[in-house]
Structure 1
Amino acid sequence: MGLYYFDYTYFVFIVPALIVTMIAQFQVKSTFEKYSRISTAKNMTGAQAASSVAQFGGALGVQVQRISGSLTDHFDPRDNTISLSDQVYASTSIAALGVAAHEAGHAIQHAQGYFPNKIRAILVPVTNFGSRLAIPLVIIGLILPVQYNFVVNLGIALYSFAVLFQLATLPVEFNASFRAIRALDEAGILYPDELEGAKKVLRAAAMTYLAASFTAIMSLLRLLVLAGNRRGRD
């Protein structure tokens, strides 16, 4: 059996996933940079937009704070807080308002008890646990004699939760963007031409989630092939 990172399955499953991921990352970076240079007519900041969108959607009591980093924006349901990065918090650009509104969309989901969001939350602890153990267990299982195949199977089972988490993330992220665009439009925060730019920013961001799901699926398929090849040789 070849070493885990030096067999044909790496090129069949992992390399395509890496290419898709790099394309998605390039797309989101270039799109964000393009629309971060275009200010909105109403000069509303990302922080103001996040608060306005959250209130428009019925998410009351949401706090908006500034955090360091690049595109580190997120919503934390534990303390009902939207954290916006330096590029978004005080910026009046189309890109900033799109990102800020997206995070406010998550706050609205939380306030309304959006069901897919609950499913993802349930998967978080088991995914965090499984993701740390899955690959080491598979590697150890592939090294051990065939009677320890259950170790490989356990690792694959744990990794499958990471795949489920990525798939469960997709509707949550898409819905947050849908809520964001609708609020930006109906609340009159962006004009129609600005709204088109915000849509492009959020579509580019959505590609990163699709790429993450594709990578997780391809990695799972690789593990299944490695396990199957091992059984075929024994």
Structure 2
Amino acid sequence: MAVALTLALLASACTPNKPAPEDRGKEKYPWHTNIVATTFWVGEVFDPTAEDGSQVTSTYDSRWMASYGGCDGVTTKDGCQTEARAGSNGYAPSAVKPKENPFYLDLPYDDINNPAAFNERATVIPWANDEGYKGQATNRSFSYMKNRWVKIRKGDKVCYGQIQDAGPGEYQDKAYVFGSDDARPANKKFNNAGMDVSPALNGCLGFSDLNGESDKVDWQFVDQKDVAPGPWLNIVTVSQVK
């Protein structure tokens, strides 16, 4: 009896813990780990000569700055600049009351303006056949990407945001965006960045720099029902392509 019990305990100790069924359900989408994330903000103009050098507009909203409510930061003689954010006011900007979710981000897949991405989106985007999305493949006023929720982790900090633009640097990087953990961003700019995050996410995640290229995160898509409570739910963006 004692020998049998000892063997059972040893077998138990050597067997890896399997996630509970409810935990496995939360991993519907793969994690993308060790990804460089830079910061961008509504109203930023970092290269006026580049087609994608301004955040006054986004790939999904030709009047993004107006839709948001103004500069997501502070306006100086040099234009709209970012600022440090604090949890005491929900990481909100100091000079404007946002009309849309200040927890926004982009990923390098533009399913509206990139012709190849638009043509393939219903077959490569995992949620394309989910309720609320299916049947929209040829609708140029509907984006499968805009407003989707993303869970972002940096160390022990976890925050959530909604996609509101495409980039950085690439606009049809399906292998990375919808691929497995080992897929790396195709983008070679900005230290091979695979995501831009808003100032609110920058503050929430505790980035080391307000506008740098060294912070790294892990991220995964999540369905809205799996978004944890937090300041990212104070204002939820629901508007479609404008």
Instruction: Bin the TM-score by the shorter chain.
Output: under 0.3
Structure with greater proportional helix content: 1
TM-score norm. by structure 1 comes to 0.26
Higher relative contact order, chain-length normalized (CA < 8 Å, sep 6+): 2
Higher strand share: 2
